Structure 1
């Protein structure tokens, strides 16, 4: 069956709609006024700019190490998931390099952010989704350890809004502009990326990704932890000590711990996941771990490698 609507059928539907509005205006002026006012308010609400929610600070590790600031915003133009089982959409700007590091803007529906406003546990899956998007879309490797910055957004608020809205000012064409340059105009301002037809990101595009691309491990909450360096009498690093609060864990046997020369991965299946880049190289063979049941704290001690040049 052909479900396409012909121009004549579409015109007929539009005329019917206007006819209904005319009848409402004539027979029920109050209802007509309420209807028009409601849709005007909805339109204004939809056109509101994105509002900063929080800023995440982490690192891009590869292909080149640098600071990364993720501005997470609420924006009415981002659809909310239909239910708790549906994927969570997001809209993203582009990576922007600044003198202080790289900045990217990520927007969720305000409905989604409302539940995470004061709940760190609810915030973490949204942060992990944003980080996963950045890694997949921009072909970079991020440090999975992060902290929430004391400011709500990095950079100028208007720049943030322009970047997400895709309305960055472009230079006016000059008389010397070639015919080739005129043909090479930028792509449309808004593009929804389909999973079946991925395309590389372009400056000024707005892209959408869903949480179905996240693995379960990416949504696990990193435990509260502290990493400290113990120096020897000469002032050089001697060992690194990690303490992690693992509430709900009964013994060290529930933990999966992996230590290499320069990083550490701690996982408690279904509960916690922590990936850390170590500040100095360690001797992974000398690593020890103890678990204190009284305060649910795991302590990992790593000796600094003998050839550590610090």
Structure 2
């Protein structure tokens, strides 16, 4: 089967682009470094950032604690004017149990950065946002919660990766359109790729967010932006503490069932002193906290193609 002309043109552009980057890296390392830093900065700016965390008591569906992460996120639009509704993007509600503390729930609420910046000048504004976030949790999730809250540093399951994941980390499906003209100059090609990248980011955002009419009371100033994100599933796993010959804890061993993958190369694995992140794009997503501090430099992972099982072992500090 032969490729059509448009496909060949796209492949030529991709090959030329990588060739340009190689030449730039060799001939002008400083410019190459600036380009890479710019791309990394743009990617980081699209991630939500934790602004503050509220903690309040829940009465229903279970007695416990509710943590609301107030986040700053550029993908949430700013209000059109001071009197308009406040656009808000909410993540998935997650629940769990902490030893000694009992049942808890975590909810992420993201606003445009300009909204939160304005609250630095008027502290009453941030209190209003906090109260609206509590009201939102009650209305959207049928919870009965206390209106008294405290601001804490961070709640459970609230690492940057977890917040990013719950608020809509995904890659939307895109349809490629061939350009009418193919430009072969380095500057034009980089500009074209940059513009296409910006367009794809906008499409991602549109795919993740749907504006829904807000059934507002007189004081309800929040316009809910719900996500259509259906995330990767959480795989089954088992975490064990291994002991040495004298019975003292010496290592952690994590076993994860991954029946939908065939190779270790499909996995992205990150190990820190406190936790491990396992991600298979669009398929699996797992964060596991270690009960004891580990030495991440000793981590080793093996994937069995026969059993489709990943085993990670890391020594304790």
TM-score range for the pair, normalised by the shorter chain length:
0.3 to 0.5
Larger radius of gyration: 1
Question: Normalising by the residue count of structure 1, what TM-score does the alignment of the two structures yield?
Answer: 0.40
Q: Which has the higher strand share?
A: 2
Question: Normalising by the residue count of structure 2, what TM-score does the alignment of the two structures yield?
Answer: 0.39
